[in-house]
Amino acid sequence: MSDPLQFEAFMRDYQDMVFTSALRLVGNEADAEDIAQDVFLKAYMHFDQLRHSFTVGGWLKTVTRNLSLNHLTRYRARWRFFSECDDHGESGEHHDFAANLPAPDLPTQAVDTADRRNLLESALQKLPPAQRVPLVLYHFENLSYEEIAAKLRISLGKVKTDIHRGRVALRQRLVRNPESATA
């Protein structure tokens, strides 16, 4: 291992991305912190190869995703596989899902992009894991339905249903009560 100060700088550069990626998937800050720590332990073991790599960000994101999914698989018994949302059928593809979400009505102030992103992140964390995880994998990690089904070991139909239900639940949460999305 080379200079510990180099690794510390490396961690500072990537810690937000790793933590945010884990948090989106697991929905719990303490678990996301543990996963981020595990990611950086793996990075430390491979730092001599990683520090000069142009694909280090992708490597970290992949390790984060895999460790997060492993964590969720261990606790799958806790997942609720179906939400209380009514299923009104698949409404088609929405590749830019976040852009299609309604902006909350805040009477005296405009919601800028950062505020809207924070509202979306907060509402996303309130979704049950069976909806949140496929949504994050599809919209944030850019995995296909087939890749999500394989990683989560569920059927393709379940992936599509969970993503659809997650979109519906997220829209309802943001439209009905934008203030409570951050509460």
For the chain, domain boundaries:
4-77, 89-176
CATH 1.10.1740.10 fits 4-77, yes or no: yes
Share of the chain above pLDDT 90, in %: 41
pTM of the entire predicted model: 0.64
pLDDT at 80 over 80: no
As a whole number of angstroms, the distance between CA 99 and CA 89 comes to: 21
Phi, psi of 51 (to 5 degrees): -60, -25
Q: Which residues contact 30 (CB under 8 A, 6 or more apart)?
A: none
And the tokens for 33?
A: 């912190």
160: confidence class by pLDDT, cuts 50, 70, 90: very high
Crossing angle of the two packed helices 113-125 and 129-139, in degrees rounded to 10: 140
pLDDT of 113 reads 65
pLDDT of 88 reads 41
As a whole number of angstroms, the distance between CA 10 and CA 128 comes to: 33
For 102, which DSSP code?
P
pLDDT at 84 over 70: no
Q: Which residues contact 6 (CB under 8 A, 6 or more apart)?
A: 47, 51
82: left (phi over 0), alpha (psi -120 to 50) or beta: beta
pLDDT of 75 reads 67
85: confidence class by pLDDT, cuts 50, 70, 90: very low
Tens-digit pLDDT profile for residues 128-159: 988 999 999 998 888 999 999 998 889 999 99
115: confidence class by pLDDT, cuts 50, 70, 90: confident
Task: Tell me the residue type at 156.
Answer: L
pLDDT at 95 over 80: no
pLDDT of 109 reads 44
Query: Span 89-176: which CATH code?
Result: 1.10.10.10
pLDDT of 51 reads 82
Mean pLDDT of 57-72: 92
The average confidence (pLDDT) of the chain is 78
pLDDT of 159 reads 93
